[in-house]
Every structure is written in structure tokens, then in C-alpha cells.
Amino acid sequence: MKNSIYFLSLLIAFNQYSQDQINDTIQGTKQNLDEVIVKSIRVKYSSPITHSNISKSELSSKNLGQDLPVLLSFLPSTVTTSDAGAGIGYTGIRIRGVSAQSTNITINGIPFNDPESHGTYWVNLPDFTSSVENLQVQRGVGTSTNGSGAFGASINILTDAISKNPFAEISNSVGSYNTLKHTVKFSTGQLNDSFELSGRLSKIDSDGYIDRAYSDLKSYFIQGAYSKGNTLIKALTFGGHEKTYQSWYGVSKDQLLENRRQNPYTYENEIDNYKQDHYQFHWNQKLNEKWSTNLGLNHTYGRGYFEQFREDDSIDTYGGILVSDIDQQGNQTGTTDLIRRRWLDNNFYVLNASVNYKTNKLDLIFNSSYSTYSGDHYGEVIWARNFSKNSSVRDRYYDGNGKKTDFSIFAKASYLLNEKLEFYGDFQLRKLNYKTSGITSDLVNMLIDQSYSFFNPKFGLSLTLSPASMLYGSFSRANREPSRSDYESNINIKPEQLNDFEFGWRFRKNGLKLNLNGYYMLYNEQLVLTGELDDVGTPIRTNSGSSYRKGIEFEAGLKLSEDFLINSNLTLSSNKNKQILSNFDGAIFDFGKTSISFSPDLIASNSLIFSPNDNTMISFLSKYVGKQYMGNTDAVNSILDSYFVNNINFSYTLNSNSIFDEIIISGLINNIFDKEFVSNGYYYTYEDTWSNPGQVKTLDGAGYYPQAERNFLIGLTLKL
């Protein structure tokens, strides 16, 4: 401990090299000390990794209350959805058809994915976009990162940079479905050219497009920073409290035709009520012109419940704490009405450390990460007609715990072999253990003790053809462990492996930007979505043996004139399971080669941006998503139809010399042509053994999440 304190003291004292910026090129420009926080898991323009960079300014005009995934929907190969239909509340994102459970997401280099479920619940961080400085989306395996590996995409986010000047900002927006957003931000600016305190408070309310699918969301972000010479120290905390009425059950096809906005839930308090707080500490130190270090610490604390009314529920599923109802003849029914809460209480601790060595030819990074997680899962009955003699309100009918430790180290290097050829190498070793105890909500003992060791190599080459043009190619391998819900569905579930081949061409010249990328992602035991949901709405996954995703991604940006800019992207892909075996009519049936669920073969986006001056922007946004299957057997009833939607986004900035420095008016008109479309759903099969005794017939059904028709959001931002 004494040695650690001594080492940290030396780092703080090492300020003789005065510098505000480090000459690195994650995004092709000089990188400030804030961005060093995420350097170890990001890539620069010349890297042979397929990626997109998004700045604060690109997000700000659309940031009127919708969740971050919805604001990213116009990126290549991206599909987003919203349970409540209007982009507020529970939202999801899929990139190259890969579910959010297999997409690695980090905030300042700290894993955001839940270690057990692998899910990313943006509803826990409402209005987080208001505190995002920039982000990078890597498609494919990408570079080595912290937490569960990327299995098709990664999103790494950098939060607000230090502001040298003080400011105050008030943002308010209103819109369809009684949507209201209120945000207050401030910064003291750098005091004595060293210290800064900044923060944000946000409140979002929305009734949702779906009936009663309301959201009551609160969030905060507070940051204290010290920056002097070659030292940057940040301590920050952020979090949110969400209350959302449930709409994860969707609607059937008949309900969709009858009234697409209806919600099958009727209990007035069928809600999620969850809080999540994040505490982070980051220390960046430039030791000299070649060496720099980064240290990151994190504690995430989450707790909350899902409340649910159950009618005529079997008392057997409550471990003997309930007594059966009595029918009119005086017989026990074996069931009762009740209200239950399913709780999750968890703590997640992370330590990241990296060292960077950089010369004119070599950029070398060593990174290590260790995390430990503990999550309590338990259920309680808060009301029932009758409790047993030895039971009472809030007695737990199930109680379990999951613990996970995760340790990884990686080394990555970019080396200029000559003036035109650059080599990229990246090697990661990851070791983890997952252990559970207690019983599940189905009263099943869940005793898992699994350890995994994964080796993930990556390497590639970039060839500069001219100052405007470059070619690249790479190979990357990723391994990923199952989630808790995967084990609950199948105790014999296997980890998945991906070999990813990427080849591309980038061109930049005279206002023209072109990216052409081809990929072939070869999977072994890919955990694909079956289309089904468990009893709390979590998508169920299963191993699919051998499968692949291959495609071409094309991006183009063209400055038509000083006023007009067009950005387009197109993805053409083929996503196949090589062989699917499944129960059908009471026997195992070989469906052969089938489409992977939720993986459209065609995705396209277009943005036409008109900026007659620096203060005005109007953009026309279009999105097309092709037909996709919700299951893996190419069943007709599992088809989600293609859809094409168009939005208008605008902003106008009024520079003022009075009370406010700037007044910004911005707005979104979504789905301007008022199209009815469905972006997500679920598919299930069941066996009919009662219609024709002695015969087994497989039947199927589906649920759908309809999205909002024409709707709007308009905002006013006042800056001091």
C-alpha cells in the first residue's frame, strides 16, 4: 500500500512537461487529455478497423429527449426500436443484426453492459446524451476492449470534456404524447487554470405512443476535474431513476389491426422502478514525450424491482408462502390473485490501468482490467388473498445470487513499416468466473460455477495509396461467455466464438468522403435470438452451431455546395445459420440453412442537410430497413415487414448580446409521412396436443412492437 501511494505521488508531481494536448489521431486531429481516457479502446482514422465517430454537435440538434440508441439509428447497419413506440423508455439497438446483449458498450472505458445479463438499459441513464462529448462505434469485433467482448459491434463513449470557460445552460423540449424534457447544465470553467466543477440535472416525462406506456425519468451528472500541464484527474458521478409502465408484451397481429396503440396490461402499477448510480475516477498522466499512463476506477450500484399483478396464479410457484383460493363449491383452486415484485440489487467494481508508449513510428498500448460483480435476485409477494400461517407480506419466495469476476490484459500496437504501410496488432487474454447460488423465480436451484479463458488475437494492415485514399484489411477473433438468462434457458449453453474478416477502402478529397467495407463474420455456436421472451421480457438466446454474416457497407458524404451536404449509407448482407434443428410436430426437424433472426439483408439511410449559414440547419432524414425474421426457421408468421420512414430535423441559433449568449431552437418531426410500421417483435412456437388426441401439432404465434406515427419534438436552449 505504501508503494502504491508513493507511486501515485510521483505521478502527481511529474508536471515538468507542460502540455495541453497529446499529438495523437484517434479522429484525425490532435487529441486532448480528456480523450486519452478512451484511447486504449479506440482506433484512429488509419486503423484497419471499421468504425464511425460521432461528435457532440452531431447529437445536439436531435437531443430532445429520445434515448441515445435512437439518435444513432442513421449509422451504417443499424436498427433501433422502442417498446413504448416513441424512443423514450426501453429502447434497443442492433448493429449488423447483432443484439444489444452482444454489443460491448463502455463509458469512459468502463463497461456499461450488465455483467450477468449482458444487457444495456439506457432507460437507467435518461438524457445521458446531454453529457456525451463524443463516441465511437466499431463494427465487427473491433479493437480489444474492457468487459465482455464485442461480438458484432462496440460503442465507446466519452463524457463531457473540461470547459475552460464558465457557462450555464437550460434546455426544455415538448412534444407528442405529452413528452416533456427539462435539462439544466453548468460549469464553473477552469478556476486558477486548473479546477473545474460541472454538472447536469434532467427530468423527462412521456405518456408513450403505446397506451399507458409512460416514462417518469430523472438523471444527474456531476464532475470535478483537475488539469494542469500533463496531469488530468477526474472524479464524476452520474445516474438515473426510472419508472416505466410495462409495454414489453407487445400486441398480437389481431390487436395490431384492431388498435395498434393498445396495451394488454391493465394493473395500474405494472411498472419498472429502478435506480442506478455510477461513480468513476480517472487519472491521466503524461510522463514524458513518449510515455503516458491512465488509471480508471468505477463503482456501479443498481437496485430496483418490477411489479406485476397475477390473476389466478398457481400457488406452487411461491414456495408455500400462499394459501389457495376456495371456489363456490368449497374446493381449493390451487391458485390465487396476487401482486409480486421481482428485485435486482447489484454492485459492480472495475479497475482499469493502461500505459502508452509513442514514437513517430510506433504507438504501443498495454491495458489491464479487473472487475467484480455481485447481484442479488429475489422476489416478494406484496399482496395476496391469503398467506400461509408462517408467512407474511414481503416474504421472499425465491432468493439467489450471482457473482462474476473478470480479468483481461491486452497489448496493441500500430507500427509504420514505411511511409505507406502500417501494421496493427492486438492480443488479448481474458479470464473470468461466474458463480451462482440460491433458486430462480421458477423455484429451480441454480448452481453454476463456470470459468473461461479466452485468447483474442487481432491484426491488420493499412496501405496509403495517396494522401486521399487508403486500403485496409484485418482479421479479429472474439470469444464471449453466456449470460445468466442463457443458463436459465439451457444449463448446457456454450460460449460463442467469432472470426471476423474486414476489408475496406477510405477516400477523402474536395468535400467527398467515401467508405467501402466488406466483412465476413464466421461464428461457432453463435448465441442467436430465438424470437421468444422469458416471463420478464428478456429475449431468449440459443446456440446455433455454425453460422455467418457477410456483407458490404457503403458510406458516402458529398458537399454539393456551400449550403448542401448529403450523407448516405447502404448495407447489403447475407446472415445465415448453416443448419437449424428444432422440434416440429413432435419430432426433431432439420430446417437446413435459414436466416438468422432479426437480421435484415438491406439497411439504408440518407441525410440531406441544408445550412444556409452557421446558425441554421435543416436536414431531411430517411431510413429503410428490409424484411427480417423474428425466428430462425424462416417461418412465414415470424416475418417483420420492411419499412421506410422519413424525419425532419432543424435547429436555429440566435446569437444575443443581452442576458443569453445563445438561444437555440431545435426540432424533430418524426415519421413525417405518417407510416404505420413495426420495428421489433417476438415469435414463439408451442405444441397442440389437445385438438387431436394422439397427434402432436406445432403451432406458432407472434407479438409486435408498433412504432409511433407522425410525431414531433421541439426544444429551446438558453445558454449563458
Identify the weakest region by mean pLDDT among 148-162, 522-536, 681-695, 701-715: 681-695
pLDDT in tens, 626-683: 999 999 999 999 999 999 999 999 999 998 777 888 999 999 999 999 999 999 999 9
C-alpha triplet 195, 196, 202: angle, nearest 5°: 160
Cell of residue 227, nine digits:
488539469
Would you state the pLDDT for residue 32? Answer: 65
Q: What is the reported pLDDT for 310?
A: 93
CATH superfamily for 2-443+455-719 is TonB-dependent receptor, beta-barrel domain (2.40.170.20)
**Residues 407-445: tens digit of each pLDDT:** 999 999 999 999 999 999 999 999 999 999 999 998 999
The predicted model scores a pTM of: 0.93
pLDDT at site 696: 82
Q: Is 702 a residue whose pLDDT tops 70?
A: yes
Yes or no: say if 475 and 501 are a contact pair by the CB < 8 Å rule: yes
Task: Give the percent of the chain with pLDDT over 70.
Answer: 95
Cα(172)–Cα(185) distance, rounded to whole angstroms?
12
pLDDT at 237 over 70: yes
Q: Measured between alpha carbons, how far is 348 from 373 in angstroms, rounded to an integer?
A: 4
Is residue 219 classed as helix, strand or coil in its secondary structure? strand
How far apart, in whole angstroms, are the C-alpha atoms of residue 625 and residue 601? 8
Phi, psi of 536 (to 5 degrees): -125, 20
Spatial CB neighbours of 171, under 8 Å, sequence gap ≥ 6: 130, 181, 182, 183, 184, 185, 715, 716, 717, 718
Alpha-carbon distance values, 683 to 9, 707, 712 (Å):
58, 18, 31
At 511-550, the pLDDT tens digits run 899 999 999 999 999 999 999 988 788 899 999 999 999 9
Q: What is the pLDDT of residues 461-505, one digit of tens each?
A: 999 999 999 999 999 999 999 999 999 988 899 999 999 999 999
pLDDT of residue 293: 95
| Model confidence at 609: pLDDT above 90 | yes
Note the pLDDT of residue 331: 84
Instruction: Evaluate if residue 281 carries a pLDDT over 60.
Output: yes
Kindly tell me if the per-residue pLDDT of 586 is higher than 70: yes
Encode pLDDT of 163-179 as tens digits.
Answer: 999 999 999 999 999 99
* Cell (9 digits) for 720: 449563458
Residue found by looking up cell 453454476 in the block: 448
Residue 581 — pLDDT band, cuts 50, 70, 90?
confident
Q: Is 144 in a helix, a strand, or coil? A: coil
Question: Distance between CA 676 and CA 673 in Å, rounded?
Answer: 9
pLDDT in tens, 351-399: 999 999 999 999 999 999 999 999 999 999 999 988 998 888 989 999 9
Please tell me the predicted confidence (pLDDT) of residue 14.
35
pLDDT of residue 65: 92
User: In the structure, what pLDDT confidence band is assigned to residue 28 with cuts at 50, 70 and 90?
Assistant: very low
Q: What are the tens digits of pLDDT across the range 40-83?
A: 999 999 999 999 999 999 999 899 999 999 999 999 999 999 99
Reply yes or no on whether the pLDDT at 100 is more than 90. no
* Rounded average pLDDT over 599-603: 97
3-class SS of residue 122:
helix
Q: Is the pLDDT of residue 21 over 50?
A: no
Element holding 440 (H helix, E strand): none
pLDDT above 90 coverage of the chain, percent: 82
Burial of 579 (0-12, 13-18, 19+ CB in 10 A): middle
**How do residues 179-201 score in pLDDT, each as one tens digit?**
999 999 999 999 999 999 999 99
* Confidence at residue 694, expressed as pLDDT on a 0 to 100 scale: 73
Please name which of 424, 483, 475, 480 lies closest in space to residue 455, comparing C-alpha atoms. 480
Q: What string of DSSP letters covers 229-270?
A: TTEEEEEEEEEEEEEEE--TT-B-HHHHHH-TT--S---TT-
3-state secondary structure of 43: coil
Report phi then psi at 325, rounded to 5.
-70, 160
pLDDT at 690 over 80: no
C-alpha cell belonging to residue 533: 421472451
Residue pair 408/369 in contact (Cβ under 8 Å)? The answer is yes
CB 382 within 8 Å of CB 339: yes
Tell me, what's the pLDDT at 31?
54
Cβ-in-10-Å burial (0-12, 13-18, 19+) of 295 comes to middle
Give 20 or 419, the one with higher predicted confidence.
Answer: 419
Helix, strand, coil shares, percent, the chain, to 5: 10, 60, 35
Q: So what's the pLDDT on residue 29? A: 42
pLDDT of residue 585: 75
- The structural domains of the chain, with segments of one domain joined by +, span 2-443+455-719
H helices then E strands: how many in the chain?
A: 6, 38
Residue 711 buriedness (CB in 10 A; 0-12 / 13-18 / 19+)? buried
Give the 3-state secondary structure of residue 162.
Answer: coil
Name which of 61, 343, 307, 84 is nearest 205 in CA terms. Answer: 84
Q: Is the pLDDT of residue 26 over 60?
A: no
Residue at 11: amino acid letter = L
Task: State residue 102 phi and psi, 5-degree precision.
Answer: -110, 10
